[in-house]
Amino acid sequence: MARKPAEQTVHPDAILHAAATVFCRQGYHGATMADIAAEVNLTAGSLYHHFPSKQELLLAVLDAGLGQMISAVQAVVEGDAVPPEKLRQIVQLHVQSEIDNVNIAAAVIFESRALLEMPGVRDQYVRQRDALEALYRRVIEDGIACGDFRALDVGIFVKTMFGALNWVSVWYRPAGRMSGAEIAEEIARTFLASLRPGAGMP
């Protein structure tokens, strides 16, 4: 009996990466299976040997992107830097992952809300998104507790940050005047300035 896989294989990871690229570039509905397949020199039909449907492909991409993001942020949050430094680092992570195509979550959510309405699917996504939000929240709360940050409404502040950071994927262009790291640095500066003790009152 013979069994091992042929080595002409395109690795599932390569397909995931291709799908992320195309979803990010064209949105979920705008991306065709043929587009994704072309990115790895396959035909549309061949993709079905690796993923059962376009929808599953999107889920896998979202899952991978958010999952990686969460663990990266988690590492920072559980580290022993001081809160302002942690905040700076996770802003860098967030922006960088958007730019690298890894976190297409933010980009894709702009076009896939209908898809995410599907109950079984939405839950996992929301759970992950909330987990990420909770990590951000913790950094802010720690900073307030130790006096590094002024007291403020943490819920609103975190959502404000999320909006600002997710929006980067809408306007960022590789050919722009600033690198991702520079953009992240500037955004981090904005929020750190805002968090300064005493900055809240006129």
Partner DNA sequence: TAATTAATCAAACCTTCATTTAATTATATG
Partner DNA sequence: CATATAATTAAATGAAGGTTTGATTAATTA
Residues that bind a copy of itself (CB under 8 A): 25-30, 84, 109-114, 117, 150, 152-153, 156-157, 159-168, 170-171, 178, 183, 186-187, 189-196, 199-200, 202
Nearer to a copy of itself, 12 or 176 (CB): 176
- Binding of DNA at residue 50 (CB under 7 A)? yes
According to DSSP, residue 164 is labeled H
- Whether 161 and 139 have beta carbons less than 8 Å apart is answered as no
| Distant-in-sequence contacts of 13-19, Cβ < 8 A, 24+ apart | 14/40, 15/40, 15/47, 15/50, 15/51, 15/57, 16/57, 16/60, 16/61, 16/64, 17/101, 19/57, 19/58, 19/60, 19/61
Nearer to a copy of itself, 9 or 160 (CB): 160
- Binding of DNA at residue 32 (CB under 7 A)? yes
Nearest CA-CA partner of 27 in 95, 109, 97 = 109
- Binding of DNA at residue 53 (CB under 7 A)? yes
Map tokens 């805002």 to a residue: 194
Least distance from a copy of itself to the Cβ atom of residue 9, Å: 31
Q: What residue 162 binds from a copy of itself, DNA, none (CB within 5 to 8 A, per partner kind)? A: a copy of itself
Nearer to a copy of itself, 63 or 111 (CB): 111
Q: What residue 183 binds from a copy of itself, DNA, none (CB within 5 to 8 A, per partner kind)? A: a copy of itself
Dist. CA 69–CA 87, nearest whole Å = 14
Q: What residue 49 binds from a copy of itself, DNA, none (CB within 5 to 8 A, per partner kind)? A: DNA
Which member of 17, 21, 27, 46 binds DNA (CB under 7 A)?
A: 46
- Binding of DNA at residue 43 (CB under 7 A)? yes
**Residue 158 burial class via C-beta count within 10 angstroms: exposed 0-12, middle 13-18, buried 19 and up:** buried
Dist. CA 90–CA 78, nearest whole Å = 12
Which member of 16, 20, 37, 107 binds DNA (CB under 7 A)?
A: 37
